[in-house]
Chains A and B, each alone.
Chain A
Amino acid sequence: MSFIEFENVYKRYQTGEIIITAADGVSFSIEKGEFCLIVGASGAGKSTVLNMLGGMDSCDDGKIRVAGKLINGLDEKALIDYRRSDVGFVFQFYNLVPNLTALENVELASQIVEKALKPEKVLERVGLAERMDNFPSQLSGGEQQRVSIARALAKNPKLLLCDEPTGALDYKTSKQILKLLQRTCRETGMTVVVITHNQALADMADRIITMRSGRVIQIAVNDRPVPVEKLEW
């Protein structure tokens, strides 16, 4: 049994008269503590997979299991609990509450979870000890994303989901963020799933799932992931 299992998962959207099959029989599995990349072009269905994995969306068919628990069968309340305690989410556009300081944004997450980590500690870990009291608008993109990661980590989740975490960041900052994620994975043993369209990142991951048009076209396991610093794109 793997930590994450997708078993023939389908997701269809109907827009007007057209039915878009966003996930077309997706099957894969990810082991606990892996740093996994889901790679694909825009519209390949990777975000759909992430949404379903994060309990934000339901699948139309198939089975999704996380830590042996069937996710697609949960009722709304159980789903909220799942999101609350098992999943940390890192958004492409950080989604920080502009009106809250970095610390408060982290607190926003930590206050709803009992096993939460101390927000200050988490921020320190992501290297923002000095900027805790700044508002998002006073932070750079990379810093904001680090706050976003801190917010996800503060809940001490089993699973960290990142939707194009570097999508809005420059090269250098992107590297820093990726490094942070990789380090987190290695140090805490947390399972990290990152969505990206950047094929070049493949070498840093333990597992690479490639998608196209809603299907998984390749699953590769990398025995020797390289540190982010060594990657170039």
Chain B
Amino acid sequence: MNRALLTDTIRTISRTQSRFFSIVLIVALGISFFAGMNATAPDMKDTAEKYLTASNAADVRIVSSAGLTNEDIAVLGSIQGVENISGEKFVDGILSVNDQKVSDIDGSQLTVRVIALDCTKAQYAAAGENDKSFMNRPQLIEGSWPTGANQCLVDQSQLSTPEEFKIGSVITVEGDGSDITGSLQNTQYTITGIIRTPLYISYERGYTTIGTGKLGTFIYVPEENFLTDYYGAVNIKISGSEKFRTDSEEYKALIDPYVSYISSISQERLSLRVAALKATYTALVAKSEISYATSKADIEAQIASGEKQVAEILEMAQNGDATLAGYKEQYNQKAKEASEKIDESKLEHSAQYAEWEKKRNAYNAAKELCDKYSSAETDYKNAVTEYNVATTQVNTSLQTVEYLQNLVATTRSAIDQLNTNQAVSLSDIVGRFEESGLVGSEVDQIISSINSWTAVGTAEEMSAYMEPQLQQLEEQLAASKQELSDAQTELANKKAELEKAEKLVATLNQLEAELKKAEIELTQAEKALTTANYDIQMGELEVLSQLSDMKNQITNYETNLQMAKEKAKTIEAEFEETKTNAYIQLDKAKNQLEAAKDFLLSLDSAKWYVSGRAEGLTGLDDYYQMAERTSALSAVFPWIFFIVAALVCLNSMTRMIDDERTQLGTLKAMGFYDKEIVSKYVVYSLSASLIGAVSGCLLGFSIFPTVLTKAFSILFDMPPVVIRFRLVYAVPGIIISVGVTVLASYLAAKKSLRTSASTLMRPKAPKGGKRVWLENFPALWSKLGFTTKVTFRNVFRNKKRFVMAVIGVMGCTALMVAGFGLNNSINATLKNQFTDEEKIWNYDMQIVLNGSYDTTITNCDAAAVVSSRPEISLSMLQYMKVFDTNSARSSKTMETYLLIPENAEIIHNFIRLRDAKSGDPLTLPDNGAIITKKLADELELSVGDIIFVTMTSGYRVGVPVSAIAENYAFHYVYMSKNVYKGLFGANPRYNYITANLATELSPEQRAALSAELTNEYEISAVSYSDEIQTMFENILNSIGYIVIILVVSAGLLSLIVMYNLSVMNINERVKEIATIKVLGFDNREVSAYIFRENILLSLLGTFFGLFFGVILHRVVVAVGEVDIVMFGRSVGFMGFFYAAVLSIGFSMLVNLILRSNLKKVDMVESLKSNE
């Protein structure tokens, strides 16, 4: 290439950067998808390979339920080509974390495999030592290796491990109805680390003989914990195996002969072991059977005697009631009598009381009367005094009268003497007065008056003198006489009064006597009354005290009786407990016996499971299959991108060459060779596509495997994916994309150069217009608006552009339909199975029983306990166990749950069985089984076919499929118990209770309910259905990554393609655009004129994309669908809607971006000639 040409090429690149980079980008996008998607599968395989090599995974693995002995190992080790051999001890049990039972993803009790680990070797291996004899090395992800016997390492899977699996948590392992301590020294372990092991690669952990039969998780414990001398598995390393990849034919060719050889000798080895075991176990079973029978009889006898005792106590308690009733009756009788007697005395008392009252009234009357006369005596005394006073008065008056009479007489005599004897001396007269013996003032006066006399006067004088005195005396006498008479009258009055008073006093005295009498009588009556009263009170008191005594007696008796009764109850309860315990012991013994018997029986069908890596390492095969499915996906997806990318590049380059037509002609005219001219375009397209291809490869190889394996990481326990630059995909990818682009440019340039230089320099004859097929329908065509017609013409004129745009948008829409559809499918799974109104799993909780119960023989008390709980509205016993199923039509073997309800009438309350097609409700038939949809699909079964169920014992039965039920999680075979009995010759032994809650419970109430239920001996675990739902959501959400990948890549595709095409469209039609601008189209009209085409193309692309999306959705669902889950099959209206809206939206976005480009088109362009 000439230097000027090279310069021109480089200049062209920098001048047409947008074109150049659009090629880079689209090539990068196409190839990153192509390379990335294609590399994912081999990257996954390489990851596995690296992991298997690093962990020194066994080539051959032998597992035997009968166990393998050291002799077996010696024999196997002697096989030529066996490089290393080691035994692996393990034991299966039921797990609890921090004393809590844990439930598995299917709601069953989490089973655990305890695997022995040589911790020293493990640590050496972790440090980098490659001891070939140490196989299936676990890798420590977190924490540290155990340092003590009671420490363990746990599984890292997010699905199979409970949340409580954290470093420091304590794990307890126990047997499933049997004792595990015979095999394990410790049953309690502290978690010290989290590991990943090649033994378990997928989240499915394989089978076990306990629980539902599905192994839940595993732990590694230091091997010194194992007390057994046999091995559960033997791992073998074949010499030379490390030379080949696990997925290679060579490897298979190397290993397969060993597998078949070991299988062929297995029967011989096994029979030795079985014989030995049989000998031991037969004896053991026989012995146990006897001891069981003995202890059963013993316990039953004990129980019988206990029952009798309890009955006695109960009877006593009951008789006590009768006695108490007697006492009570007595008491009542007595109380009645007493009250009658008291009533009687009270009656008597009241008579006396009446008497007394009468007496008291009489007395009161008498007293009143007496009181009335009480003044009589005083009156009488007063009368006497008054009478006496009167008498004295009379007497005094009499004396006065006498005195005065005497005085008068004396005086008279004196006077007379005087008159007569005149010669009488004074003294005689005085003497006379003195001699009269009269005493008184009057006398004294007279005397003194006489004495006053100096001489005796004449008689007349004397008499005259004496006369007035006498007169006065006589007057005085008369007055005194009057006084006397008055006094006498008074006295007479007083006397009368006195007499009256005397009479009254007499009356009073009489009355007083009467009163006295009445008083006496009253007193007597009172006394009588008091006595009576006292008698009554005394009587009453006595009766009351007697009654109260009786009452106390009764109360005491009652209390005692109550106590007795309670004691009887306790005794009864105690007895019940003892009885239950005895039965539990008996059950345990029986379970152990049964287990031993089962084991003995299973020995007949015991087998060595000899397998290579793919089957031996659980889930490795699934992992490879997942890788295959991913590569199937990469067979579809990247091509859309690839084709579109190639088309876009091709178009870009052709367009570029057309643009530079004149230059081509000029160069040709100047005498350049064709190849020199062409080289410019080859270099241009080569550099663009190469840059795009290489960067696309780099991006694709790192992004896609990472994102996709991230999506799968929840399903597979693998180390982070190994990212490799894969020439296998890079080279063809680069060659194809670069080749197509370069070839397209080359051919386009060549084609142009075929014409003469002069023609080239002249404008290219414009392409002829063509009618579109739509014009054949004039009726329709003429109705269309003018611009619509133009749009249609333009759209269909450029076939290349049309195809590209439609494919691009179609791809975008299809990817989005697939993406949104996948989302819908995932949601449909969740919705239909768990959350919808008509959800399939309608139960609220699942209760795991500690054993299995044939209800025709033994009662399942747990069922009664569960159904009696007020929180639980309905419950159902069911049999549920995992078996392999297969069919004559398919080579597949499916892990399937066999579910048999005890009561087929109520199963619809817990599981809605409905026809997968019609949605009609199904009932369990009497002559076949209902199987679930995905199981039917996988085994290619339809109604009427036979499905085979292989029991763990190897026993295989066929049952006709009578219906296929809708179901989205796990695989189920539903049977009625009669069908089961018909097939297996025994009743199902129920091991689960499914229950519905009566009301919504709070988390605390739930916890309490499950705690209380698990306290029941027969219940070992309780799980709620929404816990299972959460686990499912986790699985399904991981698949949601794919949705994001799809939508994002679809958006990118759409944007790039539409942008590219639109830019090209505008560039091609600059002159046309300029012309219509000159014609006077405004910006809006110009945009509409051009973009209408884009919109039409988008609509067409979207339309086809919706159809193509449905197909793509199916592919994606097939890849994304985990085995145990069936996704919804429909995209859903909203999926179509979003996809359509988004892809049209992307086109609109492109239009919006390009509006300014249209604005920039210069009208002057219209004047230029065609270049």
Q: A85–B1163 Cα gap in the complex (Å)?
A: 17
* Residue interface mask A61-91, B partner, CB < 8 A = 1: 0000000000000000100110111010101
Interface residue? A206 (CB, 8 A): no
Interface centre among A51, A95, A109 (most CB of B within 10 A): A95
Interface residue? B1078 (CB, 8 A): yes
Partner of A56, one of B768, B787, B1163: B1163
Nearest Cβ in chain B — how far from A145, in angstroms?
14
Q: How many interface residues does A have (CB within 8 Å)?
A: 37
Interface residue? A136 (CB, 8 A): yes
Tell whether A112 pairs with B1080 under 8 Å between CB atoms, given A98-B768, A135-B768, A137-B766. Answer: yes
Nearest Cβ in chain A — how far from B1068, in angstroms?
11
Interface residue? A104 (CB, 8 A): yes
Interface residues of B in 420-459 (CB under 8 A from A): none
A98 lies within 8 A of B766 (CB): yes
A137 lies within 8 A of B769 (CB): yes
Q: A83–B1080 Cα gap in the complex (Å)?
A: 5
Interface residue? A199 (CB, 8 A): no
Interface residue? B1167 (CB, 8 A): yes
Interface residue? B601 (CB, 8 A): no
Q: A171–B645 Cα gap in the complex (Å)?
A: 49
Interface residue? B371 (CB, 8 A): no
Question: What chain B residues lie within 8 Å of A83 (beta carbons)?
Answer: 1077-1080
Interface residue? B770 (CB, 8 A): yes
Q: A92–B1170 Cα gap in the complex (Å)?
A: 11
Q: A85–B1080 Cα gap in the complex (Å)?
A: 8
Flag the segment in B132-140, B352-360, B788-796, B804-812 that touches A: B788-796
B1164 lies within 8 A of A95 (CB): no
Tell whether A99 pairs with B1080 under 8 Å between CB atoms, given A56-B1163, A91-B1075, A112-B1085. Answer: no
Nearest Cβ in chain A — how far from B516, in angstroms?
150
Q: A230–B793 Cα gap in the complex (Å)?
A: 43
B793 lies within 8 A of A92 (CB): no
Interface residue? B1166 (CB, 8 A): yes
Question: What chain A residues lie within 8 Å of B794 (beta carbons)?
Answer: 99
Tell whether A112 pairs with B1081 under 8 Å between CB atoms, given A92-B1167, A99-B790, A100-B793. Answer: yes
Question: What chain A residues lie within 8 Å of B1167 (beta carbons)?
Answer: 47, 51, 91-92, 163
Interface residue? B710 (CB, 8 A): no
* Residue interface mask A49-64, B partner, CB < 8 A = 1: 0010010110000000
Interface residue? A101 (CB, 8 A): yes
Partner of A54, one of B765, B789, B1078: B1078
- In the complex, residue of chain B having the shortest beta-carbon distance to the beta carbon of A144: B766
Partner of A104, one of B767, B790, B1081: B790
Question: What chain A residues lie within 8 Å of B765 (beta carbons)?
Answer: 137
A108 lies within 8 A of B1078 (CB): no
B1163 lies within 8 A of A57 (CB): yes
Q: A109–B790 Cα gap in the complex (Å)?
A: 13
Interface residue? B773 (CB, 8 A): no
A104 lies within 8 A of B768 (CB): no
Interface residue? A97 (CB, 8 A): yes
Question: What chain A residues lie within 8 Å of B777 (beta carbons)?
Answer: none
Nearest Cβ in chain A — how far from B658, in angstroms?
14
Interface residues of A in 141-155 (CB under 8 A from B): 151, 155
Tell whether A104 pairs with B789 under 8 Å between CB atoms, given A98-B769, A99-B769, A135-B769. Answer: yes
Interface residue? A34 (CB, 8 A): no
Q: How many interface residues does B have (CB within 8 Å)?
A: 31
Nearest Cβ in chain B — how far from A167, in angstroms?
9
Question: What chain B residues lie within 8 Å of A97 (beta carbons)?
Answer: 769, 790, 1072, 1075-1076
Interface residue? A218 (CB, 8 A): no
A92 lies within 8 A of B1169 (CB): yes
Interface residues of B in 735-775 (CB under 8 A from A): 763, 765-770
Interface residues of A in 123-168 (CB under 8 A from B): 135-138, 151, 155, 163, 168
Q: A85–B1082 Cα gap in the complex (Å)?
A: 12
Partner of B1080, one of A51, A101, A113, A137: A113
Tell whether A155 pairs with B790 under 8 Å between CB atoms, given A93-B1169, A137-B769. Answer: no
- In the complex, residue of chain B having the shortest beta-carbon distance to the beta carbon of A151: B1079
- In the complex, residue of chain A having the shortest beta-carbon distance to the beta carbon of B1081: A112
Interface residue? B786 (CB, 8 A): yes
Q: A136–B1072 Cα gap in the complex (Å)?
A: 13
Q: A106–B313 Cα gap in the complex (Å)?
A: 119
B1085 lies within 8 A of A101 (CB): no
Q: A18–B793 Cα gap in the complex (Å)?
A: 44
Q: How many A-B residue pairs have CB under 8 A?
A: 96
Question: What chain B residues lie within 8 Å of A113 (beta carbons)?
Answer: 1080
Tell whether A89 pairs with B1078 under 8 Å between CB atoms, given A57-B1163, A97-B790. Answer: yes
Partner of A99, one of B793, B1075, B1081: B793
Nearest Cβ in chain A — how far from B131, in angstroms?
77
A95 lies within 8 A of B1075 (CB): yes
Q: A108–B797 Cα gap in the complex (Å)?
A: 18
- In the complex, residue of chain B having the shortest beta-carbon distance to the beta carbon of A48: B1164
B1076 lies within 8 A of A99 (CB): no
- In the complex, residue of chain B having the shortest beta-carbon distance to the beta carbon of A82: B1080
Q: A101–B889 Cα gap in the complex (Å)?
A: 64
A112 lies within 8 A of B790 (CB): no
Interface residue? A203 (CB, 8 A): no
A80 lies within 8 A of B1078 (CB): no
- In the complex, residue of chain A having the shortest beta-carbon distance to the beta carbon of B1075: A95
Q: A113–B1167 Cα gap in the complex (Å)?
A: 22
Tell whether A56 pairs with B790 under 8 Å between CB atoms, given A92-B1167, A93-B1169, A112-B1085. Answer: no
Question: What chain A residues lie within 8 Å of B768 (beta carbons)?
Answer: 98, 135-138
Interface centre among B787, B1085, B1163 (most CB of A within 10 A): B1163
Interface residue? B1071 (CB, 8 A): yes
- In the complex, residue of chain A having the shortest beta-carbon distance to the beta carbon of B1086: A80
Partner of B1166, one of A80, A95, A109: A95
Nearest Cβ in chain A — how far from B75, in angstroms?
86
B1080 lies within 8 A of A57 (CB): no
Q: A83–B1163 Cα gap in the complex (Å)?
A: 12
B1164 lies within 8 A of A56 (CB): yes
Question: What chain A residues lie within 8 Å of B1169 (beta carbons)?
Answer: 92-93, 168
- In the complex, residue of chain A having the shortest beta-carbon distance to the beta carbon of B1072: A97
Interface centre among B793, B1076, B1079, B1170 (most CB of A within 10 A): B1079
Question: What chain A residues lie within 8 Å of B1166 (beta carbons)?
Answer: 56, 91, 95
- In the complex, residue of chain A having the shortest beta-carbon distance to the beta carbon of B1170: A93
Question: What chain B residues lie within 8 Å of A87 (beta carbons)?
Answer: 1080
Q: A101–B790 Cα gap in the complex (Å)?
A: 10
A95 lies within 8 A of B1071 (CB): yes
A100 lies within 8 A of B769 (CB): yes
- In the complex, residue of chain A having the shortest beta-carbon distance to the beta carbon of B791: A99
Question: What chain B residues lie within 8 Å of A29 (beta carbons)?
Answer: none
Tell whether A111 pairs with B1075 under 8 Å between CB atoms, given A77-B1082, A85-B1080, A99-B769. Answer: no
Question: What chain B residues lie within 8 Å of A111 (beta carbons)?
Answer: 786-787
Q: A99–B769 Cα gap in the complex (Å)?
A: 4
Interface centre among B1072, B1075, B1082 (most CB of A within 10 A): B1075
Interface residue? A5 (CB, 8 A): no
Question: What chain A residues lie within 8 Å of B787 (beta carbons)?
Answer: 111
Question: What chain B residues lie within 8 Å of A168 (beta carbons)?
Answer: 1169
Nearest Cβ in chain B — how far from A158, in angstroms?
13
A84 lies within 8 A of B1080 (CB): yes
Q: A99–B1065 Cα gap in the complex (Å)?
A: 14
Question: Closest 4 A-B residue pairs measured CB to CB?
Answer: A84-B1080, A137-B768, A135-B769, A83-B1080
Instruction: Report 13 cross-chain contacts, Cβ distance below 8 Å, ordered by A residue.
Output: A51-B1164, A56-B1163, A57-B1163, A98-B766, A98-B768, A99-B769, A100-B769, A108-B1079, A111-B786, A112-B1081, A136-B768, A137-B766, A137-B769
Given contacts A81-B1080, A91-B1078, A109-B1080, 12 further A-B contacts (CB under 8 A): A84-B1080, A85-B1080, A89-B1078, A99-B797, A104-B790, A108-B786, A113-B1080, A135-B769, A136-B766, A136-B769, A137-B768, A151-B1079
On B, residues with C-beta under 8 Å from A are 763, 765-770, 786-787, 789-790, 793-794, 797, 1071-1072, 1075-1082, 1085, 1163-1164, 1166-1167, 1169-1170
